[in-house]
Amino acid sequence: MNKIEVVEYEEKYRAEWDNFVENSNNGTLFHLQAFLDYHPKGKFNFHHLMFFENGKLLAVLPGGITEDKVFWSPVGASYGSLVTDDIPFEKSLQLVDTMMDYFKNNDYKEIFLIPPPIIYNKVITQNIEYAMLYRNFDFELHYISHAIHLRFDKEFLNYFDKTARKTIRKILREGKITIRESDDYVTFNEILVKNKAKHNAKPTHSLEDMLRVAQLVPDKVRLNMVYYEEKPIAGSWLFICNPKVVLCFYNMLLYEYEHLKPVYLIMYETVRWAIENGFEWVDIGVSQDTKSPNPMTPALSLINFKERFYSHGILRSTYHYKFRD
């Protein structure tokens, strides 16, 4: 087999990297250099890798290094791990071996990789994941995420449960609250901060982060806001991750307007828009109880709510390898 060469990413490769991700089998928004640029320089010790075969780019691996020589992928994003085309298993195994040889030869202690869930693949394949498991990777964590498959054979609202159908039809009939695309990130951030504070948490992104992302990848984000008598009361920040999947990164509301059920309207509009624009899945995110000492503890009430919209559980897993001394 042809030898695979590992090259450390440099700025001169930016266009080639992002073009490869955009046209790959499993790449997402989170793998793009254009997206990762929203982080201030120096915030992370990025260490991205590129894998070439006979001068042709075979795979990319975004990530970063900790002070104790542990490699994480992603860093500063939701999904990472190896991005490839639809390659055969033997090539996948060679790629994983090359990656491991690189880390071993450079005295790395551990590897943590979080690939996108399988729904993000254009062609469904788990060659890379099996190759890693065959080479004795283990799992650090599994999270349960939920996603809605958009291949409906009739009106999608009929697939939602009775409560969701009744609530959404009432909202649409009465017209008291409305939803539309917006660029009002300042107001959305205010709602986001208040919402997170209720749960003793802080948002992953600051207002400056959101504005930066929207500036860097404007065609890959969408902000929807819900209005009651023109007052913004809720919103949703969508990430257009790749041609298959739209991710609901934040669904937020002002709790004093919870009785108006704005999140039901958000879910309706998100699914409607995603279908209209040719996507196959809406990913509505992980469903963990963040207050539990066990990070894998499911948030049952949140899961029950998500299942009202015909969502089903998918795994978001962290692959781990520790080198022996």
Q: Give the pLDDT confidence of 173-182 residue by residue, as tens digits.
A: 999 999 999 9
Q: Give residue 201's pLDDT.
A: 81
Q: Mean pLDDT score of the chain, rounded to an integer?
A: 96
CATH code 3.40.50.12780 for 4-136: no
Q: Report CA torsion sign: 164, 166, 169, 171.
A: negative
Q: Give residue 312's pLDDT.
A: 97
Its CATH architecture, for the domain 146-316, is 3-Layer(aba) Sandwich (3.40)
Instruction: Name the residue type at position 298.
Output: P
How would residue 290 be classed by pLDDT, with cut points 50, 70 and 90?
confident
How would residue 149 be classed by pLDDT, with cut points 50, 70 and 90?
very high
Residue whose entry in the numeric block shows the structure tokens 């930016």: 14
Domain boundaries, the chain: 4-136, 146-316
Q: How many H-runs (helices) and E-runs (strands) does the chain carry?
A: 9, 14
* Within this chain, domains 4-136 and 146-316 share the same CATH topology: yes
How would residue 289 be classed by pLDDT, with cut points 50, 70 and 90?
confident
Contacts of 283 (CB under 8 A, 6+ apart): 117, 119, 145, 146, 147, 241, 245, 246, 247, 248, 314
Q: Give residue 154's pLDDT.
A: 86
Q: Flag whether pLDDT at 325 surpasses 80.
A: no
How would residue 55 be classed by pLDDT, with cut points 50, 70 and 90?
very high
